[in-house]
A = this chain, B = another copy of it.
Amino acid sequence: MLLLENGERCMSIEIDETHDPARESWVPSARRHAQFPIQNLPYGIFAPADAEPRPGVAIGDAILDIGALARAGLLPEPAASALGSNTLNALFGLPSAARRALRRRLSQLLTDRAHEPALATSLHEATACTLHLPVLIGDYSDFYVGIHHAMNVGRIFRPDTPLMPNYKHLPIGYHGRASSVRVSGTPVRRPLGQTAGPDNRPNFAPTRQLDYELELGIFIGEGNSLGERIELAKASQHMAGLCLLNDWSARDVQAWERLPLGPFLSKSFQTSISPWVISTEALVPFRIAPPSRPEGDPKPLPYLEDATDRAGGQYALNLEVSLLTSRMRDSALAPERISRTTSTVMYFTFAQIVAHQASNGCNLNPGDLLGTGTLSGPTREGSGSLLELSGAGTQPLRLANGETRRFLEDGDEVMFTATAEAPGRVSIGFGSCRGVVLPSH
């Protein structure tokens, strides 16, 4: 419990028994599970074969139907009443204390073997289920807080001033398209678009520079009313959790359309997210990295400065990109890892992103999605996009099977994964975010 300056009490999100490394689930596959041990308990929407979508929690190789548990009276209010839906919006809209209570109860139910008989019929094999979008996304906005990505891209367009003068003062962001956000596994259709031609005569054709962007997504929790703001000190409580996000981009379309109002159709054809929402509560033990703002950089303005947020540290998440081409698939090769990076390249924290977006009184609603922007590392190998990996196409990426890539080709499948690790803690995973490129219609 923190006491804020205005005297208000603020429940901080802290390490509790649900993070205990000694805790093990009676679900056999959950033990030492690389992604979904008992310490994770991510939320999602799933459908068993021939059944309707419903809220679930991933545990090992199984999914627990928490809608059924709520109906059976096994879960605490007010969370239980928020689970009678095929989206997680109502759950995310609860005060964060309610989500913490739900997590503690789920952890207990899945740890104490006495509950196994009552839960057995609510456990489904994950491989037999279909995963859906976890929420109905009202608004999606995308940021640009990966500072190496901003510098890499900036160098391409403005070699002399890669970073704009505003960059270190505010999390740069723009609005994206909510209607075309799709769950991992949905193929992405290569879009048509306008691109520059000779003498500024454009073409309209399938993009020749299809790319991915490796990002994390933030799901908004309780949110704010129009005209109100979210104080930075409370912003973490307004985050329900994180996911992986692929901001598919058509670079040639982007280059032609972007001035003066920013990216539009070069991004809106599809955005993919991983199906499991890793809750803010599950991620508490992994906030172990020092702040990314080096000494000597400008101090944030007061509305983006909070001692607790700064002292809380950054989330240290390991991110990877793998690629499976058609030729690799035909040769029964495994996907090849082409990039490794970390969330610590974020120049602003998740809380700063949320506080900034609401700083003008814009209302954020439960389930709104905020992307971090591409999380490239400081070296070429840590690039979060092919644009960067291939030096804007000048140095094609060479794959182990001899293929090369400037940009994505039809049949290429892109897969993102993430894990959270910390000394003395059980690692947890984000599952994956994947999508295969289909040819244009």
Contacts and interface: CB of A to CB of B under 8 A. Distances in A.
Interface of A: 138-139, 141, 144, 154, 157, 164-166, 169-170, 172-180, 182, 189, 191-194, 196, 200-204, 226-229, 250, 253, 256-266, 268-270, 298, 301-303, 356-357, 359-365, 368, 441
A192 B363 contact: no
A172 B260 contact: yes
Given A170-B202, A202-B170, A260-B164, A269 B361 contact: yes
A115 B256 CA distance: 57
A227 B257 contact: no
**What is the total number of copies of this protein in its complex?**
2
A261 B368 CA distance: 20
A75 to B, nearest CB: 29
B301 A269 contact: no
A227 B248 CA distance: 14
A357 B264 CA distance: 9
B360 A253 contact: yes
B179 A139 contact: yes
A179 B364 contact: yes
A360 B268 contact: yes
Contact of A362 (B141, B260, B269): B269
A175 B173 contact: no
Contact of A359 (B175, B177, B180, B192): B192
Given A265-B359, A360-B193, A441-B227, A257 B166 contact: yes
A173 B176 CA distance: 12
A178 B360 contact: no
Contacts of A363: 179-180
Contacts of A179: 138-139, 226, 362-365, 368
A226 B191 CA distance: 11
Contacts of A138: 138, 178-179
A415 to B, nearest CB: 21
A267 to B, nearest CB: 9
Given A175-B177, A227-B441, A259 B204 contact: no
Q: Nearest 8 pairs between A and B by C-beta?
A: A262-B262, A175-B175, A191-B360, A174-B261, A189-B227, A268-B362, A265-B360, A165-B200
A298 to B, nearest CB: 7
A160 to B, nearest CB: 14
A395 B261 CA distance: 26
A198 to B, nearest CB: 12
A393 B130 CA distance: 57
Contacts of A191: 360-361
B261 A172 contact: yes
